[in-house]
Amino acid sequence: MSQPINLIGGALVGEMKLPQPLANLSANYDLLTLNIFLLAKYKFQPQQIVSLEKTWAGIRIRHTVAEYPANIVFFTKNTQMFFARIKQAGFLPAARVEDLPRRNGSPVYWQIVVLALALWNIFLLVCANYSYLNLPVSNLSLPFLFVLFISISVQRSRFVQSFFLKSNRNIEEVAPVFRFFALVSGLFAALFIAQSLI
């Protein structure tokens, strides 16, 4: 009889590394779920996973879901225990290597990302050094509001996605990164606005 499992660890999603205990992996015989705290949730059926492979830091999930990041790794210190628990859960990868989606390089135009970062730095310097602008909100909140706006727009607007994403790629491949930017920038913007009101 299969026994569902629930493990706490870290994760590598695309290029973003999250330490323990920000990732939770659960599995039963017909579903494996990787939940990244506040950023993403990935669900896999056996026919969507080619293999679960031991790596230097944990378990790589080789999957066939084109909408998910190609590189998904669950960090766990005890890989032996992981495979024993997966066996107990009865989850058996059933996809074929031939089913792996073909992806060429990064899903985003990094030139656009670098340009956006450069604009943000210029914006930050201008707002930090020109307090005489007399804006209704803290000058330092504006660069973070800019990042918040861009991060949300990239996730919601196909028009904005067309500037960042390569053709035939999906926003969900990089969505956790933009959600992280939105979370951090929103927090800093709120702090600077609150500070200006005190």
Confidence band for 130, pLDDT divided at 50, 70 and 90: low
pLDDT one-digit tens code per residue, 182-194:
999 999 889 888 8
List 153's β-bridge partners, or say none: none
The pLDDT of residue 77: 85
Confidence band for 95, pLDDT divided at 50, 70 and 90: very high
CA distance to 120, 140, 179, 180, 188, per residue, from 193 (Å)? 18, 8, 21, 20, 9
The pLDDT of residue 193: 83
Rounded to whole angstroms, the maximal C-alpha distance in the chain is: 70
The pLDDT of residue 45: 96
- Give me the helix-helix angle, 175-197 and 141-156, nearest 10°: 150
The pLDDT of residue 138: 63
The pLDDT of residue 186: 93
